[in-house]
């Protein structure tokens, strides 16, 4: 197995993808809108991915946050609220907001599990800051760290109760970035003391199974390299100060925030301390290059991966999707 997660080009596996994935044995896969048509098609696709090497618990990821980030869309699937919705409810009724976030995540998990998806890139623990790029914006759970942590904890629990593992992101915090990392490399000039605000939700949820890095330079910690590629930030900040010891996944390595060819970026991310290199765009040349650039997954990273996926071995709550949505909406009506 190589420490990489790859994307797919379309609604079905191509012959080239099937052969390459069987030969390279990536740690998992990620799905986007280009891979999704309807329930039946999506279930066939996820079944095909599991059949490649017989791993029933192979990680199959998706960014299904709600709001403007949703790969599974209407009319086949209903829209879900953004993170800001729960932040607004928290202003009036904190306990109701936490329960609404949990029910929302359980409904998301039910929707994902039905089609064979077992990992959701959610929740965002980025603390929203005034004047920052709106790439986070209303996706955030708020601007107060412990509120973000409380809502994030509810989301992680709701996903797990529905049989899906969540990924906290974007560690150590994307909330201050003035630029969109899809397009450019942000540099955060905040002091170490100021950045404690950004770290606080991640420290509170340090026991999460998975986390995703950000492609942001933090001058206070490493003025030369973005977090994804910084051994200093990954070891000293994420692993030691935050205390996160779960599976660390890079953000998408195809973003313009990073320089150099994609296979070199993948090798640099793993070399810096990420457990998994994430490559989303299904460009065969890049995927082949990554497979050649990476050594087999380390014993430590494999144990983290297996430990994370063990958390979805059972479903703790089997309430129907419609019931969960109705209960969530009754609480959100307060706001």
- Which residues participate in catalysis according to the annotation? 182, 251
Question: Do 227 and 219 meet the contact criterion of CB atoms below 8 Å apart?
Answer: no
Place of tokens 């950045």: 195
Sign of torsion over alpha carbons 190, 258, 122, 249:
negative
β-strand partners of 187: 217
Phi, psi of 187 (to 5 degrees): -120, 120
* 32-61: burial string, b at 16+ Cβ within 10 Å, e else: beebbeeeeebeebbebbbebeeeebbbbb
């Amino acid at each position: 197995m190589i420490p990489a997660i790859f994307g797919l080009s379309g609604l079905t596996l191509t012959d080239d993808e099937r052969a390459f994935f069987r030969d390279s044995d990536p740690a998992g896969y990620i799905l986007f809108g280009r891979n999704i048509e309807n329930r039946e098609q999506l279930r066939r696709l996820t079944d095909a991915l599991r059949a490649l090497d017989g791993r029933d618990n192979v990680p199959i990821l998706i960014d299904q946050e709600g709001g403007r980030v949703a790969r599974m869309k209407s009319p086949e699937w209903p829209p879900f609220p953004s993170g800001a919705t729960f932040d607004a409810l928290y202003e009036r009724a904190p306990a109701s907001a936490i329960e609404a976030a949990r029910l929302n995540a359980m409904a998301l998990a039910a929707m994902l599990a039905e089609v064979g998806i077992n990992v959701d890139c959610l929740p965002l623990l980025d603390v929203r800051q005034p004047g920052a790029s709106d790439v986070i914006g209303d996706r955030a759970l708020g601007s107060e760290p412990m509120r973000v942590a409380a809502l994030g904890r509810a989301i992680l629990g709701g996903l797990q109760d529905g049989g899906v593992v969540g990924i906290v992101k974007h560690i150590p915090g994307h909330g201050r970035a003035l630029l969109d990392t899809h397009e450019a490399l942000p540099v955060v000039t905040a002091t170490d003391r100021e950045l404690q605000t950004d770290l606080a939700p991640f420290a509170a949820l340090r026991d999460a199974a998975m986390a995703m890095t950000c492609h942001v330079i933090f001058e206070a910690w490493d003025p030369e390299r973005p977090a994804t590629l910084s051994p200093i930030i990954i070891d000293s900040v994420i692993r030691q100060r935050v205390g996160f010891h779960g599976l660390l996944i890079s953000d998408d390595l195809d973003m313009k925030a990073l320089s150099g060819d994609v296979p070199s970026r993948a090798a640099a991310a793993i070399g810096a301390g990420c457990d998994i290199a994430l490559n989303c765009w299904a460009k065969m040349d890049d995927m082949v290059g990554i497979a050649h650039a990476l050594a087999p997954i380390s014993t430590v990273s494999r144990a983290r991966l297996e430990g994370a996926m063990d958390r979805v071995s059972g479903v703790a709550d089997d309430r129907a999707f419609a019931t969960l949505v109705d209960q969530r909406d009754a609480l959100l009506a307060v706001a």
